[in-house]
Amino acid sequence: MPKPSSQPFCASSIIGTGSYMPEKVMTNDDLSKFVDTSDEWITTRTGIKARRIAAENQATSDLASEAARRAMEAAGITAEDINLIVVATVTPDMFFPSTACIVQKKIGAANAVCFDISAACSGFLYALQVARHFINTGNRTTALVIGAEKLSSLINWQDRNTCVLFGDGAGAVVIRRAEESEDAPGRVLSTVMGSDGNLTDLLKVPGGASACPITPENVLSRPNTIHMEGRETFKHAVTRMCQAAEQALEIAGLTKEDISMVIPHQANARIITAIADRLGLPPEKTFMNLDQYGNTSAATIPVALDEAHRQGKIKKGDIVLLVAFGGGFTWASSV
């Protein structure tokens, strides 16, 4: 991987976090009633015990809007203060308009510029970096960055290799321009992003868009559901996430010893353990909640960040490392 170029200092801080998880809980035992699997099989291979499933009448924008409201409440701002909304998702309400525009309507953020980002599980960190650039150029002062997914809408419930992994949920942060001299908590110090389009076939939803529209002839093969080569995805995820984490620390002028907490993408407990081992971090410095929620793609990091904050596991002055990997392949990290 080429060494990233140096980045200008971006004076932007996370001033509020929020998350929303649907009420319905689907446990591994629930899954075993209609899929050839078991709690032991799922837990030993993934670390997942349960996941949340959105109601039929809940769209991704509904999850995102509730997470946004909670983040705004935590930040002490109103919808009128928001002048940028970026939603990271691979499960938008519809192809267009963007889910961000639908969120704008639902929360009443009339002053915001709105658009979506599609980078799969890395989407939230991509969106965070895009929002930082808007703030850094002076075009926007207060941004709402959301990762939200209704992955249950893309799941083939007969494929036990994928249906056990995913769930629904949303997380959000409010970021605001901070003066360089301010002692602002939550300051974003660095962000690294990368992609490798040569590996697009390893993790994808092949059907439902322009390359493969759903037709009467192909509908029974379920091309509009998640397809994944698990072993290859695992290998690349660990390698790229570790590289991205080390690069983000280097750009921020920090070392592994400075890390107070790493919040990784919640895809698989084995991946998280492998990353912690390679970075030399003890278990207590690695946040994990995938046992409760499974993989919620772009929502995993903002949900975990919000929970770590509200549970008191991170506090002012701590160095927090965020790192993700997703289909594309894409990867990203932020300190």
pLDDT tens-digit map of 222-270: 889 999 998 899 999 999 999 999 999 999 999 999 999 999 999 999 9
**pLDDT confidence band for 7 (50 / 70 / 90):** very low
Give the start-to-end residue ranges of the domains of the chain.
12-177, 188-334
CA distances, 23 to each of 73, 118, 148, 293 (Å)? 21, 26, 15, 11
pLDDT tens-place string over residues 259-287: 999 999 999 999 999 999 999 999 899 99
DSSP symbols for 205-250: --SSSTTS---TTTGGG-TTS-EE-HHHHHHHHHHHHHHHHHHHHH
> Can you read off the two tokens belonging to residue 314?
């991170």
265 among known catalytic residues: yes
Catalytic pick from 28, 83, 268, 295?
295
Map residue 295 onto helix, strand or coil: strand
Smallest Cα–Cα separation from 135: which of 258, 309, 8, 222?
8
Q: Give the tokens for residue 104.
A: 């704008």
Active-site residue (options: 224, 265, 268, 309): 265
CATH number for the region 12-177 comes to 3.40.47.10
Sequence-separated (6 or more) residues with CB below 8 Å from residue 209: 95
Angle at alpha carbon of residue 88, lines to 178 and 134, rounded to 5°: 30
Query: How far, CA to CA in Å, does 52 sit from each of 123, 153, 155, 294?
Result: 20, 12, 13, 8
The structure tokens listed for 187 are 């300051």
In degrees, rounded to 5, the angle at the alpha carbon of residue 156 between the alpha carbons of residues 304 and 151 is 25
Contact between 45 and 168 under an 8 Å Cβ cutoff? The reply is no
Active site residue 295: yes
Options 3.20.20.80, 3.40.47.10, 3.40.50.300, 3.40.30.10; CATH of 188-334: 3.40.47.10
- Alpha carbon distances (Å) from 196 to 125, 202, 237, 297, 308: 16, 11, 12, 18, 31
Domains 12-177 and 188-334 alike in fold: yes
pTM for this one? 0.94
Q: What is the per-residue pLDDT across 194-218, written as a single tens digit (0 to 9) for each?
A: 999 999 999 989 888 998 899 999 9
Is 268 catalytic? The answer is no
Q: Of 10, 101, 114, 121, which is the active-site residue?
A: 121
